[in-house]
Structure 1
Amino acid sequence: MQQQLPITIAPDDQFSDALKPLVAELEMWINFQALKADWYSNEDCTLSFDFTLVRSLAEKTQGLCAENWVEASGYTYHFESSCLSTIAFIALDDLVHLGAGIEPAIKMRLINVANAIAQQHGLVPLTV
């Protein structure tokens, strides 16, 4: 049986299947970064992240209780301390309008969320 990675990334249903290769690459990349930073050495403190790539945050954040979510430019997330799990939405529409450099910008948003949580647990920050 295959074990799920601690950090998952999935595109919202609004995206075509053409995004899947990039998503798979990003997921492998960020899990490797976490492995290099030794995030998985303490099994009692293994953080998990469930990232969803969305067109815009407005679509996903309606109805969410703002006090439980942290919102920044291009992403929003909620950390559940009881299970060391983070749900995050990463917006892409503003990046598409910028043109080139979409992948590095997505990586920065993933890293920003992951490091915000990691810092609370004394873990080494991830780098791009």
Structure 2
Amino acid sequence: MQEDLPITIAADGQFSSALKPLLMKLEMWINFQALKADWYGNEDFILSFDFTLVRSLDEKVQQITATGADSNESAESWVVKQGYAYHYQSSHLMTIAFIAVDDLLEDGVGIEQAIKDRMTSVANVVASQHGLLALS
């Protein structure tokens, strides 16, 4: 039986399934970074992250503002930055995050590294609240 990883990465329905190998690579990479930083040392306290790649944050931000993403969350509990938005549920040690990629395509930057940078930015903000080492 395969155990789920604490950090998962998916893409919303606007992306091709050809993205799957990159998503798996990114997921393995960030979970390995968390392992190296000893985030999994205490089995009773493991942060989990659910990252979703989206083309643009515009639609997601409108959805968050209008509904709080779902009926259990308020829009104020979401943090929206350039290129990503996230909501940390402290009671579940769970973070839901959207990572935008359209601006990366426009800028012509290394997309994989830029996605990694955005994911680690979100992860490090949450981890710092619990005194965990930052991911590099």
Q: TM-score range by the shorter chain?
A: over 0.9
2:58 counterpart of 1:86:
no
Give the corresponding residue for 2:126: 117
Please give the alpha-carbon distance, in whole angstroms, between the structure 2 residues aligned to 1:27 and 1:12.
Answer: 15
Taking structure 1 as the reference length, the TM-score comes to: 0.96
**1:49-94 CA-partner distances (Å, limit 9, x unpaired):** 0000000011222231331100111000000000000000000000
Amino acid at match of 2:20: K
Please give the alpha-carbon distance, in whole angstroms, between the structure 1 residues aligned to 2:16 and 2:56.
Answer: 16
% identical equivalent positions: 68
Q: Structure 2: 5+ residue runs without aligned partners?
A: 69-74
2:112 is aligned, of 95, 103, 118, to 103
Please give the alpha-carbon distance, in whole angstroms, between the structure 2 residues aligned to 1:42 and 1:104.
Answer: 29
Please give the alpha-carbon distance, in whole angstroms, between the structure 2 residues aligned to 1:95 and 1:75.
Answer: 12
Q: Structure 1: 5+ residue runs without aligned partners?
A: none
| Residues 1-128 of structure 1 mapped to structure 2, 5 A cutoff | 1-64=1-64, 65=68, 66-127=75-136
Please give the alpha-carbon distance, in whole angstroms, between the structure 2 residues aligned to 1:92 and 1:107.
Answer: 11
Amino acid at match of 1:68: S
Please give the alpha-carbon distance, in whole angstroms, between the structure 1 residues aligned to 2:121 and 2:128.
Answer: 11
Please give the alpha-carbon distance, in whole angstroms, between the structure 1 residues aligned to 2:87 and 2:53.
Answer: 15
SS of residue matched to 2:120: helix
Amino acid at match of 2:89: E
User: RMSD across aligned C-alpha pairs, in angstroms?
Assistant: 0.9
